[in-house]
Amino acid sequence: MLSASRPSGACIKCLLVTFAVASALYVSGPALFWKFQKGFVVAQALSSSATSSNCPPCVCDCPPPLSLDAIAPGLSNLSITDCGKNDSEIGQEMQKQFVELLTEELKLQQVVAEEKARHMNSTLIDAKKSASQYQKEAQKCIAATEICEAARERAEAALRKETKITDLWEQRARQLGWAS
């Protein structure tokens, strides 16, 4: 009896699918409609232009675009340098502010230049320290190489001397009847 009052699972699934399809069509339907309609209009225009190569001339009776002078006369003649020319107090104040701004800009540029110079000097000092350290290491390597070269030359000289002594003993042994 309970199963008769409740909708079945298949019926609920069917309702959900129907609701999802209807929602999707409701949301994307107008866009698709306009897209298809625009496509059909373009296709009709292409087919009509293919059949008749001459189309009637277009009649355009548009007014010319408005210029800045037509919208606000005198606005294009305004400039910042004209501001306060008639009032001597404002002109002097503007000149003072201009001088102060230039002075401040020059001070800022000087601070930036000093900071760059300080950074460059510290970088140069670090580079000199590194170069000095590398030079010391190179001198150590050169000294060690010279020592090794001298030891190798002494070893070669000792080997030649030993080879001569060995050859001499071998020659004496052969003279005494030793066979190798």
Q: Check: CB of residue 51 under 8 Å from CB of residue 58.
A: no
Percent of the chain exceeding pLDDT 90 equals 40
In a domain, 48, yes or no: no
pTM equals 0.34
* The residue to which tokens 């001569």 are assigned: 164
In a domain, 32, yes or no: no
Q: What is the domain count for the chain? A: 1
In a domain, 142, yes or no: yes
In a domain, 172, yes or no: yes
Mean pLDDT over each residue of the chain, to the nearest integer: 80
* The residue to which tokens 């000095």 are assigned: 132
In a domain, 2, yes or no: no
Q: Could you read off the pLDDT of 96-124 as tens digits, one per residue? A: 788 888 888 999 999 999 999 999 999 99
In a domain, 131, yes or no: yes
Q: 133 pLDDT exceeds 80?
A: yes
Domain that holds residue 137: 97-180
Q: Could you read off the pLDDT of 18-77 as tens digits, one per residue? A: 999 988 888 888 877 777 777 766 656 555 555 555 666 776 777 776 666 666 666 555
Q: From CA 151, how far away is CA 140, in angstroms rounded?
A: 16
Q: Is 142 left (phi over 0), alpha (psi -120 to 50) or beta?
A: alpha
Cα–Cα distances in angstroms (integers) from residue 21 to residues 16, 26, 81, in the given order = 9, 9, 67
Q: 178 pLDDT exceeds 70?
A: yes
In a domain, 87, yes or no: no
